[in-house]
Amino acid sequence: MILYHASKEIVEFPEIRKTKYAKDFSWGFYCTSNFEQAVRWANRRDGNPTINYYSYEPIGKLSILKFDQMTDEWLDFIARCRSGETHHYDIVEGPMADDTIWNYINDFLTGRISRKQFWVLAEFRYPTHQISFHTLSALDCLTFKRSEIVYDPKRKK
């Protein structure tokens, strides 16, 4: 399987970095199988929108959590991770909470909307794909293939 990582630079050797804000599946190295999504993310800010290509082959006995769709379990997992909790999984894969869905999750976390209201709002949203690598063993599943600069023709300058 080919995965893409959006960046502003070539990332031949992926790293797991703890940052100021936790992401959907906590701190990790994030990729997607959706090329168009990677292009959009690479073009979000100024700089060279670089798409890094990796082959992905799970190896060894890894702890992998996979969400095939948005569910209560997915929502609760993201809520915990976005609140700063960590987990024991090597790899987590599933839908990505885009900016709109994240706003709904934030409203759910702060009590502005109920779980039921979240699902009503999220019903017609179609999240994109993400896979995150959280351990060195998980990163060993990735083999860097190449990178290229790809400008998004839909992005307004």
> Which DSSP letter does residue 61 get?
S
Residues with Cβ < 8 Å from 18, sequence gap 6 or more? 27
Strands 64-66, 128-133: pairing is unpaired
pLDDT in tens, the chain (157 residues): 999 999 999 999 999 988 877 788 999 999 999 999 999 999 998 999 999 999 999 988 999 999 999 999 999 999 899 888 999 999 999 998 777 788 888 899 899 999 999 999 887 776 789 999 999 999 999 999 999 999 988 776 5
pLDDT computed for residue 73 by the predictor: 96
Structure tokens at 132: 């995150």
Indicate the angle between helix axes 115-122 and 99-109, nearest 10 degrees. 170
**Structure pTM?**
0.90
